[in-house]
Amino acid sequence: MAFSLTDIVEEARLSARALWDYGDSFFNPTVRLGVTGLSRAGKTVFITALIHGLTRGGRFPVFEPYASGRIARARLEPQPDDAVPRFDYENHVRTLVEERRWPNSTTDISELRLVIDYQRQNGADRTLTLDIVDYPGEWLLDLPLLSKSFEQWSAESLALSREPLRAELAAPWHEHLKTLDGDGRENEQAALRSAKLFADYLRACRDERFAMSLLPPGRFLMPGSLAGSPALTFAPLEVPIDGTAPDGSLWAMMRRRYEAYKDVVVRPFFRDHFARLDRQIVLVDALAAFNAGPEALHDLEAALAGILDCFRIGRSTIMSALFRPRIDRILFAATKADHLHHQSHDRLEAILRRTVAKAADRAEYAGAAIDVVALAAVRATREAQVARGREKLPSILGTPAPGETANGETFDGETEVATFPGDLPVDPEELFRGTFRGLSGATADNADYRFLRFRPPKLVREGDEEPALPHIRLDRALQFLIGDRLQ
């Protein structure tokens, strides 16, 4: 493999940074926790709830250092990385707690520093710095591009776009592609049009099929601050894998921009963010995928394999000769478990475990410790037994967000309703075989029901104590992610 100058410069920068990080963490133990997942998976809500709980007395019985009283205090400190926006914690909390609304969605990376004063098990007082980095899962899936040429990437993207379910979504782009000649003269308008149609297709795949794997380039879906720049204005072409692009051709132009994308977007992300993480949580809206049917589940599995591959690629890339990404724990978390009755929480976890195991086989992944959890960072529902005829059915109660509709009724945001979410199958294989037909989802009067969006919960103040946000298994996630660093 040839080492280019960029790679070598990159290596030097990485190792200087690594040394700095190392020296720094020697005196001041630090854990960098990456929080990722596709757009809407629940990253913002997760981070907000985690910080709220740690700084304001959340209830975390399974998070041992906290439950045993060894954590004296957790406080926010200024965000240390000058070039990264700070996670807007205060605003998100205000929205969640005071307005009872979900925070607005964010599309860029952000970061926050939490400092935890604790007592070691041997009694010594210590401090752990937790840097939490929120980044779009779409960006993570760009890492495989580092080892692919434009021609390889074109061929793979095209083959994928011709698969049965995707072909339909790709039709407008395919039509336009037929009019392009890679050997013909470079043409900005053709590139713009092609990039737009290609991005429309990627977006349709994501929105309609919950597919997150195999959808690079990630910035086409999550442009951050780069929207419209040449590095984002390219698309696959029908060109031979081992061919050479003629000078001045459309092919050469697309190829140049693809390489620019790797230089401007992918490498800096790898160097400045991904390679510096110690721990990683990957949030997955698994319920949405189950409800969309078996194809979506297989897509999800491929997505998880893609993610695991990224961690592997992180280790085997030429950069790792001098610098190894150090992520040693990865937690996959199915979010929004409060949409299910607690009987189904273990089942949700079992299904995710099965999906991750299959993905791990595909990705031939070995390296970090992996675990799974089904959680709700903020629990928006309560449970109840509701009588239907002579039966008592386990149901969940919540306040649908204003404007949500079910069965012709539009909710005002104040009325609480009971729903029967239905049960997940005991045997995860049922989902993979496709015999599971989605959660039944009925409202109390047995009407049509999809996943209603509930408002965040109303908090009740007990005495002078700051009310805690209710959650499901957030403490288990914390225990796995940082429990060992607080021994």
- Asked if 279 contacts 132 with a C-beta cutoff of 8 angstroms, the reply is no
Alpha helices (H) in 210-342, listed in sequence order: 250-261, 267-272, 286-291, 294-316
**395-424 residues near ligand GDP, rule: CB under 6 A:** none
Is residue 103 part of the contact set for ligand GDP (CB under 6 A)?
A: yes
User: With respect to ligand GDP, which residue has the nearer C-beta, 315 or 453?
Assistant: 453
Residue type, 299: D
The torsion angles phi and psi of 390, rounded to 5 degrees, stand at: -95, -10
What is the rounded CA–CA span in Å between residue 374 and residue 361?
A: 21
What is the rounded CA–CA span in Å between residue 246 and residue 258?
A: 16
Report in angstroms how near the CB of residue 36 gets to ligand GDP at its nearest: 8
**331-350 residues near ligand GDP, rule: CB under 6 A:** 335-336, 338
Is residue 477 part of the contact set for ligand GDP (CB under 6 A)?
A: no
Of Mg ion, ligand GDP, none, which one does residue 195 interact with (CB within 5 to 8 Å by kind)? none
User: With respect to ligand GDP, which residue has the nearer C-beta, 191 or 373?
Assistant: 373
User: With respect to ligand GDP, which residue has the nearer C-beta, 110 or 233?
Assistant: 110
Does residue 58 sit in helix, strand or coil? coil
Is residue 109 part of the contact set for ligand GDP (CB under 6 A)?
A: no
State the DSSP H helix or E strand holding residue 137, giving kind and residue range, or none if neither.
helix 137-140
- Asked if 125 contacts 29 with a C-beta cutoff of 8 angstroms, the reply is no
**52-111 residues near Mg ion, rule: CB under 5 A:** 106
What is the total count of residues that contact Mg ion (CB under 5 A)?
3
CA angle 39, 44, 47 (to 5 degrees): 135
Of Mg ion, ligand GDP, none, which one does residue 344 interact with (CB within 5 to 8 Å by kind)? none
Of Mg ion, ligand GDP, none, which one does residue 229 interact with (CB within 5 to 8 Å by kind)? none
Of ligand GDP, Mg ion, none, which one does residue 310 interact with (CB within 5 to 8 Å by kind)? none
Q: Are strands 125-134 and 30-37 parallel, antiparallel or unpaired?
A: parallel
Binding window for Mg ion (CB under 5 A); candidates: 39-47, 119-127, 392-400, 478-486: 39-47
Report in angstroms how near the CB of residue 395 gets to ligand GDP at its nearest: 15
CB contact set of 246 (below 8 Å; sequence gap of 6+):
183, 252
User: Residue with CB nearest Mg ion?
Assistant: 44
Report in angstroms how near the CB of residue 56 gets to ligand GDP at its nearest: 17
Is residue 191 part of the contact set for ligand GDP (CB under 6 A)?
A: no
Report in angstroms how near the CB of residue 280 gets to Mg ion at its nearest: 16
Is residue 314 part of the contact set for ligand GDP (CB under 6 A)?
A: no
User: With respect to Mg ion, which residue has the nearer C-beta, 103 or 325?
Assistant: 103
State the DSSP H helix or E strand holding residue 394, giving kind and residue range, or none if neither.
strand 391-398
Lay out the site mask for ligand GDP across 26-65 (x = CB under 6 A, - = otherwise).
Answer: -----------x-xxxxxxx--------------------
Q: Are strands 125-134 and 110-119 parallel, antiparallel or unpaired?
A: antiparallel
Q: In what order do the strands lie in the sheet with 110-119?
A: 71-77, 110-119, 125-134, 30-37, 279-284, 329-334, 369-374
Residue type, 261: Y
Is residue 335 part of the contact set for Mg ion (CB under 5 A)?
A: no
Report in angstroms how near the CB of residue 466 gets to ligand GDP at its nearest: 20
Is residue 133 part of the contact set for ligand GDP (CB under 6 A)?
A: no
- Asked if 180 contacts 251 with a C-beta cutoff of 8 angstroms, the reply is no
Q: In what order do the strands lie in the sheet with 391-398?
A: 382-388, 391-398, 417-420, 442-443
User: Residue with CB nearest ligand GDP?
Assistant: 102
Binding window for Mg ion (CB under 5 A); candidates: 35-43, 69-77, 223-231, 471-479: 35-43
* Helix 164-178 / helix 150-161 crossing angle, nearest 10 deg: 120
Give the bridge partners for 112, in sequence order.
132
Binding site for Mg ion (CB under 5 A): 43-44, 106
Binding site for ligand GDP (CB under 6 A): 37, 39-45, 102-103, 105-106, 335-336, 338, 376-378, 380, 453-454
